[in-house]
Amino acid sequence: MSDALWTRLAAPFAPSALTWHVIAVDEAGEEATVVARLRSEALAARLDEHCGVAGWSLSYAPYGGGAVGCTLEVSEVRKAAVVNALPGGAAVTAEHAFAAAAALLGMVAPADPSAQRVPYDAEAGVTLHDPEVPAAAADAESATAPALREADARARDLSDEGRRMIDRLVDRLKDEGQGQAASRLLVRFGGYGKDADAARELYGELRALLKRASDAEPEREVGP
């Protein structure tokens, strides 16, 4: 990989490309440990912008206990990372693995990389707020070249509501006993998908899986 390509890939990301992954929850379920990572959509947009759609490749591999491995190859340079299962499930674990592999190529989140603790709602399974992004990281958007800002804007196509819709489908599939099949799909798509089109395809496949599971349910006998 040339120094010029490395520099372009490692240019600062806008704060909008940032997400926080829960890596642990305390025993009381009131506080979570989170780390900053880049969204898969932001990483894919950056790679498409500077390597071309055919200039990079990504593969995932499931491991025991819900762990996910990710291998990212750019210009014959290959970086790989394996991440243990995270509380957020297979989608978050796969996204975390992609971010970990990309970080080895200089693409890092615009925030403090150390783990931080935030209030947590155990019943809803969500953090109550994200850690504050340092001012220096917030200034990254103004320092980013126009082409990179455009790539980061494309990464926002998949809204938080879209992610929640996918999460709800996965929860329903778990209730139907199809959690493992859903996890395999999430790993194959690398979490929520690299962009809005991939996310819609993932959503469609999850819906089809749910329909097959529902159609396969045996009819209940009605008593006299």
Distance of alpha carbon 140 from alpha carbon 108, whole angstroms: 12
More confident: 174 or 73: 73
pLDDT at 152 over 70: no
Identity (one letter) of the amino acid at 129? H
User: For residue 97, what pLDDT is reported?
Assistant: 94
**pLDDT confidence tier of residue 160, bands split at 50, 70 and 90:** low
Distance of alpha carbon 149 from alpha carbon 152, whole angstroms: 5
For the chain, give every domain's residue range: 3-212
pLDDT at 6 over 70: yes
Residue owning tokens 């970086």 = 79
**pLDDT confidence tier of residue 182, bands split at 50, 70 and 90:** confident
Q: Which two tokens stand for residue 57?
A: 């490749």
* CB-based contact 161:69 (threshold 8 Å): no
Buried b (16+ CB within 10 A) or exposed e, 33-43: bbbbbbbbbbb
- Length of the chain, in residues: 224
pLDDT digits (tens, 9 = 90+) for 42-72: 999 999 999 998 899 999 998 989 999 999 9
User: For residue 95, what pLDDT is reported?
Assistant: 92
CB atoms within 10 A of CB 166: 24
pLDDT digits (tens, 9 = 90+) for 94-136: 999 999 999 999 999 877 767 888 898 887 777 888 887 665 4
Element (H, E) at 81: strand 77-83
Of 42, 39, 37, nearest in space to 21 by CA: 37
* CB-based contact 102:45 (threshold 8 Å): no
* CB-based contact 183:85 (threshold 8 Å): no
Please give the DSSP secondary-structure letter assigned to residue 105: T
